[in-house]
Homo-oligomer: A and B are copies of this chain.
Amino acid sequence: MCAEYATRPREQIAQILRSERRYLSAAEVFRALQRARARVSLSTVYRTLDRLRAKGEASSRIDEQGEATYVICTTSHHHHAICRVCGHVEEVACDPMERFTEALKAYHGFELDAHAMEFFGRCARCR
């Protein structure tokens, strides 16, 4: 029991996420599937996205409107810089943040949990 089946819907959903390198909501993935003539139910989209996150293959965030969005990530230890213009997700290594982490601790006695941060701005292309 508890095996793992490779199914067509799952592969189609992963495909969509891999091709778009930005945070997508379940509804957006669902629409993309329809455009691609893939018959997958919205329920399956929700379940599959959540499953990808649980396995660590995707990371999720709640956007400004409170909707859950997902993106496939490639490296393991990093944070996301999200472009406000195109939605592009830049994976930021932990290293360049250490200076800031130290400053925050010195100024405020605040110890940063470096695993839950995201940054917004404009990426190199959109500037």
Chain A positions near chain B (C-beta within 8 angstroms): 62-68, 81, 83-84, 90, 92-93, 96-97, 99-100, 103-104, 107-114, 116-124, 127
Contact = CB atoms under 8 A, between A and B. Distances in A.
Given A63-B62, A92-B104, A100-B100, A119 B112 contact: yes
Contacts of A100: 96-97, 99-100
Given A62-B66, A66-B66, A124-B108, A103 B113 contact: no
Query: Chain A contact residues: over half helix, strand or loop, or mixed?
Result: mixed
A124 B104 contact: no
Given A84-B113, A92-B107, A92-B108, 11 more contacts: A62-B65, A62-B66, A93-B107, A97-B100, A108-B124, A109-B123, A109-B124, A110-B119, A111-B121, A117-B117, A117-B118
Q: What are the nearest 7 A-B pairs in CB distance? A: A109-B124, A100-B100, A66-B66, A96-B103, A112-B121, A113-B121, A116-B120
Contact of A113 (B108, B116, B120): B120
A111 B122 contact: yes
